[in-house]
Amino acid sequence: MSMRVAIGGAGNVGRSIANELLENGHEILLIDRDPHAIKSDTVPGAEWLLADACELSSLEEAGLDTCDVAIAATGDDKANLVMSLLAKTEFGVPRTVARVNHPKNEWLFNEVWGVDVAVSTPRLMCALVEEAVTVGDLVRILTFHEGEANLVEMTLPGGSPCVGQRIGDLTWPGDVVLVAIIRDGHAQPPDADGSLEAGDELLFVTAQDYEQELAEMLSPRAGITVKQTPVASPRI
């Protein structure tokens, strides 16, 4: 489904996002207040607007009320919060995504400021390091506040009772859903007739209430805990 997406901030990050979304068939509007950032030749398929994405009049000119998604991708956390809040409260944009530049500001990027999805590169890198060195621990990667669900990952240890089990025969706790398996560096959807192998990286969507039960099922041992390293919040 093609969407109209407004991106505040036409720096390297904003332009990279724009190019990726254009390739996927979406309509893109790039907004930046710096004339030097208006480089239409770098994203030729996008619309461009020289304006301040923190000003109501600029967002009206951009037709933000016609957008399906607003992305605040500037290098200024204050600007990203203001754009997200205006997009959500004044223009009713269904989905807002905001870039977090400084980890100390992460706590602000939530629904109170109109942010549906907060993306923190430092937090993402920390979580991926944690994920890479952890086997047998459930690692929380993303938090989806609106649905009260999390994206969690576990690298399946060799001693897990699930190793060798047919995926279709496994009964996950509650509303847990196995969404992907990463094996030998390649992601694949779960096959009911396939089996789990030691070293598989398993990605689940689960309510927080079932995380502990899922962890104990995959890697039963005394005192198991869920590592809480959320990268982003809510729906992407």
Please state the domain extents for the chain: 4-115, 124-233
Q: What is the CA radius of gyration of the chain?
A: 20
| Assigned superfamily of 4-115 | NAD(P)-binding Rossmann-like Domain (3.40.50.720)
Looking at domain 124-233, does it have CATH number 3.30.70.1450?
A: yes
Query: Which pLDDT tens digit goes with each residue over 105-147?
Result: 989 999 999 999 898 877 666 665 655 556 777 887 777 755 5
Q: What's the order of all strands across the beta sheet hosting 201-207?
A: 47-50, 27-32, 4-8, 69-72, 95-100, 117-120, 226-233, 138-144, 149-155, 201-207, 177-183, 186-188
Give per-residue pLDDT as tens, 59-107: 999 999 999 999 999 999 999 999 999 999 999 999 999 999 988 898 9
**What does the alpha-carbon distance between residue 119 and residue 121 come to, in Å, rounded to a whole number?**
6
Handedness of CA 76, 121, 14, 88 (dihedral sign): negative
pLDDT of 154 over the 50 cut: yes
Q: How are beta strands 138-144 and 69-72 bridged, if at all?
A: unpaired
